[in-house]
């Protein structure tokens, strides 16, 4: 009977270890290989340039190339970077950033 108990404990320990390590592997892969933020739909209404504080590009691993505009009131909008009004706002923000950097030198 004692021998039977020993044989049953080892597979249980082995299975527990396998489950634990596979769970950790899944968690690690999700955190290290996936982008933090992607856009799946674009806001299509033209946003006022004066209310856009900044912009950032989404990760290149996202299925759609996108830009996220951050607004004065804290909102964020996914927009299509190929649209003219989006390009104009991005250029204006780049110029403003360059001017600010040059003034601080």
pLDDT digits (tens, 9 = 90+) for 17-52: 566 666 555 555 555 566 678 999 999 999 999 999
Same domain, 58 and 99: yes
Which domain does 10 fall in, by range?
1-34
Task: List the beta strands (DSSP E) in the chain.
Answer: 52-57, 67-71, 76-79
| Total-model pTM | 0.62
What is the arithmetic mean of pLDDT over 7-21? 62
For the chain, what is the domain count?
Answer: 2
Alpha carbons 66 and 47: distance in angstroms, whole number: 15
Q: What is the pLDDT of residue 96?
A: 87
CATH number for 57: 2.40.50.40
pLDDT for 102 beyond 50? yes
Same domain, 93 and 54: yes
Q: What are phi and psi of 3, to 5 degrees?
A: -65, -40
Q: Identify the sign of the CA torsion 70, 76, 78, 84.
A: negative
Same domain, 19 and 53: no
């Amino acid at each position: 009977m004692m021998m039977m108990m020993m044989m049953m404990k080892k597979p249980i320990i082995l299975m527990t270890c396998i489950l634990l390590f596979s769970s950790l592997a899944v968690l690690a892969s999700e955190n290290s290989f996936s982008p933090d933020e992607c856009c799946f739909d674009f806001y299509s209404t033209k946003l006022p340039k004066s209310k856009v504080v900044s912009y950032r590009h989404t990760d290149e691993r996202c299925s759609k190339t996108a830009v996220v505009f951050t607004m004065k009131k804290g909102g964020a909008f996914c927009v299509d970077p190929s649209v003219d009004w989006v390009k104009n706002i991005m250029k204006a923000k780049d110029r403003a950033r360059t001017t600010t950097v040059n003034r601080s030198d």
